[in-house]
A and B are shown apart, each in its own frame.
Chain A
Amino acid sequence: MRRSTVMASSAIALIGMGLAACSSGSSGSGSAGTTSSSKAPFTVLAIVASSGGLAAVTQAEVSGMKAAAKYVNAHGGISGHQVKISVENDNLDPTTAASLLQKAVSSGSTPPDLVYAGTTSNEALAMMPILTQDKIFSLQVDVSDQTIDPATHPYAFSLATSSEDFALEVAATTKAHYPSAKKIGMIIGNDVNGTSLLQSEKPAFEKEGYAVSVEQYNPSTTINMVPQLEALRATNPQVLLASGFGAAAGYILKARSQLGWNIPVVGDASFSSNPLTSIASASALKGVNVLSSAPQIYKPLSSQSTAFNMLYKAVAPANGAFTVSFNLYEFGWDEIMVAQAAAKQAGSFGTAPMTQAMEHLKDTNNPMYLLGTYQYSATSHTPIRSLSSATLSSPYTKNGQSLPFGQR
């Protein structure tokens, strides 16, 4: 009797364990202000995964934001208003993210002027109904169709190229490098982010004339990818498109090695954000290339912009070895710079004027932007850009940037 009771209790507690773990993250806040101002600050609330598997990604994005805020504040703030950044840790849990946001907007205090909603699409998706209902302006990296859709979430914008445009870039770049290939194999997560990418990338490759076979994995529970890659190999693809953060990227490369499969690999943006050289051997990286945009390709600091150098100086590790792509710091930096441009144009921090300003942004090509131009419209809340900036690059990096194709 005791044994069966313990087993039942254990099963219940096991389910509860995830909940307990989800509440374990600490929250913290910090102001990036450096000078005092009598005007109310421009408040930025980042609800992100400061702990969990993507904490390094989050840390880079938040560091970029804080560096940009420090720069803006040192130069008079946004029309005299200091930028104040608060960070709340959702531990990569969508439910926690929604709870934290609900608390922030219903606590009686003034809601934030800008929300950075989540490290991943999963958290962003959970927060969107609240952001929309409470009419809060948000700007994030997420590009899921379910979140960055002006028709359903009119106050949400993204800093990253739309998943459709990104998919077209991936397909066109792959075609340019592997013109004789006819079949593509895709290995991708089955979470919100992966599924959203799949919905864009599969049609994009098919549009380029490829036959596409797909295998998905569960990023939360998978510890080896041999089954998925063996299933893909059975379909005889000539190029493998790999997608995945953290350990998942390593599992893909490890399974490819174990299977002795020498198929060329194209890593998408999630794949390339990993420190591939520290999770895979040189032999496992043979034939592996990653998709990068032009600003992500390595150039010496002397050839980089003033803004790049300022950010680099602010965030570079003492030993110079970045554990994540520098691109992630740039997203954080651009978050503040784009918000500043919109706020100045709007002449107000109100959600409606900010949204209106974003949709008709005049300052689209500011030299302080690091990841390209930012132009939006009433129907596109992802940046409208030329599709020619993507290229394949080496998995090896320098200064957190990808080395050009074939170099190491």
Chain B
Amino acid sequence: MTLIWAALSSGAIYALLAITYNVVYTSVGVFNFAQGAILALGAYISYWAVDQLKWPPLLGVLLAAAVCAAAGALEARVVLLPKAFEHAELLTTVGAATIIVGIVAIFWTEIVRQPTSPVSGRTFTVFGGRVDADQLILVGLAIVMTAGLEVWYRFTLRGRASLAVAENRKAAELRGINVRAKSYGAFILAGALAGIAGAFVGPETYIYPELGNTLVLVAFVAFVLGGSGSLLGGTVGGLLLGLIENLTARYVGTDYTDLIVLGVLLGTLVALPNGIFGGQRVRTI
């Protein structure tokens, strides 16, 4: 059971990143490769505030959210400019990721660091398996973030307006929705969520500038597996991939984990192009 907890914890990290992918994708239709780098930035900001400046952890999380929201806004400023060719925004987000990683390396160097959390070092036995408090928090955070966003999208006017933009930008604009503001809002929200996630991911993974690049591939597969645009799908996909990856490493061999993860990606694209939760998208008029 200890293995299952470790797998769910890894899966929660992928899920948190997949959630932020979905926030941008749902509103703008763009896959934002920079989310991993923004998550790592959040981890560093929180580390700086809490471990170096000795601020209270909550303030560290809030600062990480604010800085990463600003990073998202800056990125949106470039990504949302009119492009000369189709899908140029994808390359723009890759460039943004590279720039963010470089900035983090300049400020904090490449040395691996271990952020602490108020619960660091506490281990519990749950269902017969040993689990660190930081790991339980990660799993809980993924669930809470998914539920909160689902409620916001389904039951608030602003959330439903965001979904309307995703569905048909021109129709939404004709209905008086400020599409450009919604797009900016998606990048800012995704940035803030990645910042919050980073503050909790850091104590589990350690932090180094390329942390986001380490996570981006599996999180992308989680995003595809669960169903692009589906928050619940991203979370379920992340947790499933955590289990697949860890159980493969345990019972088959580490050499096969990447192979199987990429196999899941290809299998999903072929058999379930819209992912597990992305199939019900036909509208009745």
Contact = CB atoms under 8 A, between A and B. Distances in A.
Interface of A: 2-11, 13-14, 16-18, 20-21, 24, 51-56, 190, 215-218, 220-224, 226-228, 230-231, 246-247, 250-251, 255, 257-260, 274-275, 278-281, 283, 323
B111 A275 contact: yes
Contacts of B173: none
B254 A228 contact: yes
A247 B208 contact: yes
B97 A17 contact: yes
Interface stretch (B26-34, B67-75, B146-154): B26-34
Of B6, B130, B251, the most chain A CB neighbours within 10 A belong to: B6
The 7 closest A-B pairs by CB, nearest first: A55-B110, A226-B6, A227-B250, A227-B249, A10-B31, A247-B206, A13-B90
Interface stretch (B177-185, B189-197, B214-222, B231-239): B214-222
A278 B213 CA distance: 23
Contact of B205 (A216, A223, A323): A223
Nearest to B120: A281
Interface in B119-148: 120-121, 123, 130-132
8 contacts: A24-B101, A56-B110, A56-B111, A226-B246, A251-B206, A259-B2, A274-B112, A279-B112
Nearest to A23: B98
Contacts of A218: 254, 257-258
Interface residues of B, number: 63
B246 to A, nearest CB: 5
Given A223-B205, A250-B206, 15 more contacts: A3-B229, A11-B265, A21-B97, A24-B102, A217-B249, A218-B257, A221-B257, A224-B9, A227-B246, A227-B250, A228-B249, A260-B123, A279-B114, A280-B114, A323-B111
A51 B217 contact: no
Contacts of B204: 223-224
A255 B271 CA distance: 36
B228 A7 contact: yes
Given A221-B214, A259-B2, A250 B114 contact: yes
Contacts of B98: 20-21, 24
A274 B112 CA distance: 9
A140 to B, nearest CB: 20
A262 B254 CA distance: 23
B242 to A, nearest CB: 9
A1 to B, nearest CB: 11
Contact of B123 (A3, A55, A215, A258): A258
A278 B113 CA distance: 7
B29 to A, nearest CB: 6
Given A221-B217, A247-B112, A278-B114, A2 B210 contact: no
B6 A258 contact: yes
A228 B3 CA distance: 10
B95 A20 contact: yes
Contact of A223 (B105, B132, B215): B215
A283 B120 CA distance: 12
B213 A2 contact: no
Contacts of A217: 249, 254
A21 B101 contact: yes
A14 B266 CA distance: 14
Given A6-B30, A24-B98, A190 B206 contact: no
